[in-house]
Amino acid sequence: MSWTLEEVKKHNTRESCWVIIKNKVYDVTSFLNDHPGGAAIILKYAGRDATAAYEPIHPADALDKNLPASAHLGPVNTDAASTLDAAVRNRRKTKDEIRIEEAHKYKPALSHVLSLRDMEDVAKKVLPHKAYAYYSSSTEDTISKNENAHAFTRFFFHARVMRPVSQCDPSTTILGFKSSIPVFVSGAAMAKLAHPDGELNITRGCAAQGIIQMVSSNASYSYAEIAHAATPTQPLFFQLYKHKDDATALQRIREVESLGYKALFLTVDAVVPSKREFDIRAPWYLEELERGGPLEFVEEQADALQGQSFGTAGGLIVNDDRDMTWERTIPWMRSVTKLPIVLKGIQCVEDALLAAKAGVDGILISNHGGRQLDYSLPPIEVLYRLRKHHPEVFGKMEIYIDGGITRGSDVLKAVCLGATAVGLGRPYLYAQGAYGVGGVKRITHILETEIVTAMRLMGASSIQDLTPELVERVDWQVDLKARL
């Protein structure tokens, strides 16, 4: 059976809510209350085409996973399809889309991007505002995000000289898998917001440069599509947001196992959505931009105290497990999978010790890029404290950090302190959004060049030469008081 637009339009209420996605009709009435992003965003498109809003955020298999077969109502008819196609062709471009087209015309040649900060500068100009707001935003006053990067400036090298470094090998292994440099792509959601090929750009760029990609549970391509984009020998890790229902969580684990993913990074620092104000404000900014000025004040009909916005993706974790424990969750995961288990989001020495006691294969010291708890310590500082007070832990599991890394020298500071590797999330989202696969390859090449150069200047010819003695933490303060 096929449907007319008029028939679909009748189903535009909470009691009967249909939407059109890619010329197919779906009854999402029963799903409204279960939608991670809330019912309001679906009701906004009730009875009409939701494709433009749906596609940049959801993987291709989301409808099959979340809706029963009875809710797949079939295609629109030929006339309806023609009308929808014409509407897309004739749609007036938004001011943000016009800005993006102009910015892409005049962005620098890729060879002129010399650093990760250069790449972010380009991305800020060429990415859709919604994408940049989501990627760059952090929680509340952005203290942790800013300090993640600033903290690296407190660590200085004790460079050694008169050591042979003509042959310098920056390669390492992560959970037994070869990596050309001690860097991996940390899990980050919704790459398709910035580029139609999204996570696939990262997969292909990682393959070309020999590094490992961690795929987010909330990727905008399906886990299968990403796995199929990888080369036959390319390892992929999976960032697991554990669902509160064990059966649902197990289903996700079984899926990625069957697709050949090599490790599970259980996210433990995002049990509730945080308040990322730049991301939350993005749709209001776009409305005002399109209008050409501020929106007219309208008295609110409901109690404003009840209103809550999670931003672009905050709703994606509302169904995740808020009651994970050391005593139950890790043993449960060990009982259902043989894949290596890494805890992503360790933020203090005490939990690092508990992780070692629990027998996990690794920990990723991370405050979610400053996106969850503001004033969470910078990961490099937690790593330093762990190395200083409990060096024995480094022999029990692999330890990684992410957050704030902008230079190859930052990578080496972490490795000297005992990190097996570091993860980067935002830089790869910016790179693939601005330049596609080429951007991913470019910033990996930049990091490798900076790493090798710094290793040679430090007197290190291999990763094994990078030891704690090569790094010192300092607390210099500039005296701004006038001297009389």
How many whole angstroms from its chain centre is CA 303? Answer: 34
* Residue 389 CA neighbour count, 13 Å, CB half: 11
Q: Is the pLDDT of residue 484 over 60?
A: no
Q: How confident is the model at residue 33 (pLDDT cuts 50, 70, 90)?
A: confident
Let me know if 197 is a catalytic residue: no
Q: Is 96 exposed, middle or buried (0-12, 13-18, 19+ CB in 10 A)?
A: middle
Let me know if 445 is a catalytic residue: no
Q: How confident is the model at residue 356 (pLDDT cuts 50, 70, 90)?
A: very high
What pairs with residue 147 in β-bridges?
A: none
User: Do residues 144 and 347 touch, judged by C-beta distance below 8 A?
Assistant: no
Catalytic residue among 241, 384, 428, 430: 241
pLDDT digits (tens, 9 = 90+) for 408-421: 999 999 999 999 99
pLDDT for 428: 98
**Pairwise CA distance, residues 66 & 28, whole Å:** 10
Report the DSSP pairing between strands 236-240 and 263-267. parallel
276: left (phi over 0), alpha (psi -120 to 50) or beta: beta
pLDDT digits (tens, 9 = 90+) for 379-389: 999 999 999 99
Q: Is 468 exposed, middle or buried (0-12, 13-18, 19+ CB in 10 A)?
A: middle
**Pairwise CA distance, residues 313 & 137, whole Å:** 11
Catalytic residue among 11, 129, 195, 368: 368
pLDDT digits (tens, 9 = 90+) for 300-343: 766 665 555 677 766 677 788 999 999 999 999 999 999 999 99
Q: Tell me if residue 243 falls in helix, strand or coil.
A: strand
pLDDT digits (tens, 9 = 90+) for 220-279: 999 999 999 999 999 999 999 999 999 999 999 999 999 999 999 999 999 988 899 989
Catalytic residue among 269, 279, 410, 465: 269
Check residues 139 and 35 and name the one with the higher pLDDT: 139
Let me know if 241 is a catalytic residue: yes
The percent of residues above 70 in pLDDT, for the chain, comes to: 96
pLDDT for 394: 97
pLDDT for 483: 46
